[in-house]
Structure formats: C-alpha cells, structure tokens
Chain A
C-alpha cells in the first residue's frame, strides 16, 4: 500500500514534495484558525463566515492529508 508515499494526485506535476505540501497545508490551517478567531471577535453575526472557513479547513485536510481523491483516481 502506498509504495509511492503520500502524494495525492491533486499535486502531481506541480513539483511540490510531500513535506512541502504538509508544511503549506499546516500553515494554511493555522492561518484559518486565527482568522476564525479574529472574525469571532470582530463580526457579530458570523455564522456564514464560520461555515465557509470550516468547509475550507475540512477540504484541505480531506484532500491533502487524507488523500480523498485517491479513492476515485488511484495512486
């Protein structure tokens, strides 16, 4: 299983190493978490903002960390 390592098909051909992908996604998740908190402090009715940011967070993890596209594209 996974003899080629965690390299989702979504990043093939872009020249990004798996480690670089990991760092980029990690930074994006941290930034999103901080932005969520700032929105909480600054915006009174923030439900829509939160939903949009949560979906972005989840998509990043599902696609890059959990390799969801491999289910239908293969390795």
Chain B
C-alpha cells in the first residue's frame, strides 16, 4: 500500500509541480499507465497459466521438443539483452548502437516466432487434449504478443532512423522496450510450466 501511495504521489507531484500543465506531467503518468497496462495483461496470462495446471495437472509433458524449447528461451533472453542495450544506446545519444541493437532485437523476435511455429508443426498432441489446449492457447497468445512487439519495435526503429529520438527524449523507445521485456517475463513463467514442471 505504501509503495502504491508513493507511486501515485510521484505522478500527482509531477502534475502539481508544473502548474497543472498536462504536457509537463506526461512522463510520470505515461510510466504509471504503462505499468497498469502490464498489470492488466498479467491477469490474462496468469489465468492461462493456472488453466494449464487445471486442465493438464502437474505432470511433465513427454511429447514436447525440449531442445527447441530451451533454444527459443535463450533467443528471447538474448533479445531482452539487445533491447536493453538499444535503450542504453539512445539514452547516451549513440544512434548507431540504438539502431544495431534494436534491429538485432527484431531479428531475435522473428527467430522466436519461427521457433514457436516449428514447435506447433511438430507437436504430437492435438488441441483437443487438455495439455494441447493449454499449450496452443498459451504459446499462441504469447506469440501474438511477440509478433505485435516486433511490429512496435520496427515502427520505433523506423522513426529512430528518421531521427525522431534523442538522449533527452525517447519515451517511445523506452515504452516499446519495456513492452518487449514484459513479453520476456511472461515467457519466463510459461516455458517451465509448459516444458519442465513436474510434481
């Protein structure tokens, strides 16, 4: 509760401290709004995660491609790292590093989506089985977020190439990259739930 109050106070202080000018208080409110968006998305993903255990129990699935699961997990972790380095690049005004790393992130996102596609095509279970229902819905919803993230990053890269962002002003980059990290956090929970957990 105390943390929530401090967060709201910060956003409100930004508003009051600038004479109630909405433009000046926008960064703090943008941050808050973005985190509320992540919170609302978390409920959706948490429902799917709990649904996986409700439908298929806690038993380890035998038919998934473990090597591919680990490989695409590594790809997504690497993409989070390149996204972070891209944000570091624009924050210090290094447009070259920003563009290199954001393009690497887009490429890794595409590789991840292709990996999920391969997993789908190889799956030895159907969507009508309990585990299949969980697997296809969880990976499908997550992959749709990855694909939308790739589009968002591509738009940011395009605007960046036209000089839209600077060290002083790059909220668009920050928000897109935070979204990408959020997608990675979701996979951190989905990967073991779908591939590794056993009880």
Contacts and interface: CB of A to CB of B under 8 A. Distances in A.
Interface of A: 1-6, 18-19, 22-23, 25-26, 29-30, 33, 36-37, 39-40, 44-47, 50, 53-54, 57-58, 61-62, 64-66, 68, 70-72, 74
B95 to A, nearest CB: 14
Given A1-B171, A26-B77, A44-B198, A58 B10 contact: no
Contacts of B182: 66
A6 B178 contact: no
* B interface, over-half SS: helix
Contact of B85 (A19, A45, A64, A74): A19
A19 to B, nearest CB: 6
Nearest to A37: B70
Nearest to B168: A3
A54 B192 CA distance: 8
Nearest to B77: A29
A3 to B, nearest CB: 5
- Bin the interface of chain B by size: 35 or more
Majority secondary structure, A binding face:
helix
B70 A47 contact: no
B104 interface: no
B88 A19 contact: yes
Interface stretch (B109-117, B124-132, B139-147, B183-191): B183-191
A23 B58 CA distance: 34
A22 B84 contact: yes
B154 interface: no
B178 A66 contact: yes
Nearest to B179: A66
B199 A45 contact: yes
Interface in B72-91: 73-74, 77-78, 80-81, 83-85, 87-88, 91
B20 to A, nearest CB: 20
Nearest to B171: A1
A72 B197 contact: no
A21 B154 CA distance: 25
B170 A2 contact: yes
